[in-house]
Structure 1
Amino acid sequence: MGPTRRKLLIVKNRQNKSTKNVAKPELYIVEEEAELLPFLLDTLSNRSRNSVKSILTRGQVYVNGEVITKHNFQLEPGYKISIEKNIVAKAASFTGLKIVHEDDDIIVIEKESGLLSISSPKEKSLTAYKQLMTYVQKINPKNRVFVVHRLDRDTSGVMMFAKSEKVKLKLQNSWKDIVEERAYIALVEGVIKKQEGTITSWLKESKTLKMYSSSNPNDGQHAVTHYQKIQSNTNFTLLNVHLETGRKNQIRVHMEDIGHPIVGDKKYGSKVNPISRLGLHAKTLAFKHPTTDEIMRFESNTPKSFFDSSK
């Protein structure tokens, strides 16, 4: 017979105005001695064993106000158990990334500049993909993550992974309909005088794997980039960039096309790098959730060096 317990409070998920799920924790009081995992399995009987173990591993379970991940942690009568609804991997350790949202279908992360999204011929170990794969397989060896879109190694900011092939295919096949907004902040060389503008071209890839704009209409992948000036000085301009299409290196090519390459982007014409990194940051990703159709919106703070360099 499982441990008895008195349920104090359950507050259902509710949506706030910022379009993210925000919910109060579920609260319980322990009435008999028990180990933590069996207590949770009995208490959360509507969830699978794998789901309950995931809650523990992610650091969502608090015992008397402290995060506990140990399955056989001993509970005593009177202990207070709270379960955070916002699924963020507090207990996991990553290099160059942090999880900002996770549910049964997707993981949204903030990636630092310098971390590969996926492996390359030169780097097969430390990638966002591999770290997340290791993380989900600690919960269940059968778990996997799937690449939905990518950020260049030296681009920082928000990106998303799927937790099943079905979700991945739905996201990729309906990307234009699902994504509500995809915005970047770009620090570029020189002074852009126009307050806003749109760049349109057809992108192709050279034999050296460098993308370029074709001079011939319909010769390559159609690419459309919108930009708005945030601020500028005599050397640099800070831009808010919205992608209408999502082609490989699209912003980097288009900035070079108009004579204002992204700071630190030697591949696409940059000659200076006062911030010691690529001046490109994926600030906003807003989309319809692939299962619930709920509008999800995630923003990442712009690096301070971008503002300082363009004052």
Structure 2
Amino acid sequence: MKKTLEQDFILKDLLISLFPDSSISTFRKWVKNKRVLIEGKEVTRLDSSLKKGQLFEIVKTSKPLSGNIKIVLETEDFIVLDKPSGILSVDKDHGVEISVHKVLKNYLSPKKVFVVHRLDKGTSGLILFAKTESFYEEAKKQLEERKMKRKYFAILEGELAEDQGEWESWLYEDKNLVMRVSKDEGEGMRALTHFKVINKKNNLSLLAFELETGRKNQIRVQSQFFAYPILGDKKYGSTKKWAKRMFLHAYELHFFCSKKQKTLSFKSPAPELFTNLIPF
């Protein structure tokens, strides 16, 4: 956000007036992480004097956490992150591999961190964690009631004939922990995904997906089942060995915050690898 000051302020008083739901410790983190600017220059103290007419700015992203995980927004109740491809959301059986959850636990220690939803290791983009148990319960309820909106970009192998539509199927997990589409309707978990084709080029299709349900590997297994596997997703049918990653990115996230009494919306631009392959 940017704001031209209409009167003199002490930085701490200005932040309290603009962000009444945030704490002094949060403001200290913003200053420490170089998020607070006056006339384009970093402010280093909460007791700094600000003058009428100066341009005040809070930058949206702070310094990346370890693993190049970026903070999009942090409040007392939750934290929204932008996850790169190649990092787990949550540890696998307490392994030594880096995960977003592990990084967050170190960053917020000794406070707890609650996992609201997950992104697959190869998927990049927006992911939400709760910092309080009350917000965790609120967010999980929104997921269960399908009120939390999550949208993805994906590049698929092949060119779809339809411009938009939906995929509905029933998913189950086999003994090898691979998700499959059931041949019999009603057996397994119902999965519904809406899609829109953005562009097609060189036998590839760029799609925007919106999840109606949130099953494990939902977009990935449905893309394979309908004969358009996600580029780089070798687990679910990709044949292009040259792909440097799985081309699935969580670009939009919407959820309701009861404390603020409004829906919060976040966007993450598609990685450069996507735009280099197909123009948006």
**Could you tell me the TM-score, scaled by structure 1's length?**
0.75
Cα pair distance change 1:206/1:144, threshold 3 Å = same
Percent identity between the two aligned chains: 33
Asked if 2 retains the 8 angstrom alpha-carbon contact of 1:109 and 1:158, the reply is yes
| CA drift at 1:63 | 8.6
Moved more, 212-221 or 151-160: 212-221
Q: Secondary structure at the match of 2:126?
A: strand
Aligned length: 269
Asked if 1 retains the 8 angstrom alpha-carbon contact of 2:37 and 2:57, the reply is no
Instruction: Provide the residue aligned with 1:51 in structure 2.
Output: 23
Asked if 1 retains the 8 angstrom alpha-carbon contact of 2:62 and 2:72, the reply is no
Moved more, 250-259 or 123-132: 123-132
CA distance in 2, matches of 1:208, 1:107: 33
| CA drift at 1:198 | 1.2
Q: Secondary structure at the match of 2:67?
A: coil
| CA drift at 1:93 | 3.8
Larger Rg: 1
User: Which amino acid counterpart does residue 281 of structure 1 have in structure 2?
Assistant: H
Q: What is the CA deviation profile of residues 247-282 of structure 1, one whole-angstrom value per residue up to 9, with x for unaligned ones?
A: 100000000011110011111111114440001011
CA distance in 1, matches of 2:204, 2:261: 40
Question: 1:10-25 counterparts in 2 under 5 A?
Answer: 22=1, 24=3
Question: 1:13-162 counterparts in 2 under 5 A?
Answer: 22=1, 24=3, 51-59=23-31, 65-68=41-44, 79-80=49-50, 90=62, 93-121=65-93, 123-137=95-109, 141=110, 143-162=111-130
User: Which amino acid counterpart does residue 289 of structure 1 have in structure 2?
Assistant: C
Cα pair distance change 1:58/1:189, threshold 3 Å = same
Question: 1:155-304 counterparts in 2 under 5 A?
Answer: 155-177=123-145, 179-304=147-272
Unmatched runs of 5 consecutive residues or more in structure 2? none
Moved more, 114-123 or 86-95: 86-95
| CA drift at 1:286 | 1.3
CA distance in 2, matches of 1:155, 1:310: 18
CA distance in 1, matches of 2:101, 2:152: 21
Asked if 1 retains the 8 angstrom alpha-carbon contact of 2:71 and 2:82, the reply is yes
Cα pair distance change 1:193/1:67, threshold 3 Å = same
User: Which amino acid counterpart does residue 240 of structure 1 have in structure 2?
Assistant: A
Cα pair distance change 1:87/1:120, threshold 3 Å = farther
Asked if 2 retains the 8 angstrom alpha-carbon contact of 1:57 and 1:92, the reply is no
User: Which amino acid counterpart does residue 100 of structure 1 have in structure 2?
Assistant: V
User: Which amino acid counterpart does residue 131 of structure 1 have in structure 2?
Assistant: V
Q: Secondary structure at the match of 1:179?
A: coil
CA distance in 2, matches of 1:103, 1:63: 22
Unmatched runs of 5 consecutive residues or more in structure 1? 1-21, 31-38
Q: Secondary structure at the match of 2:66?
A: coil
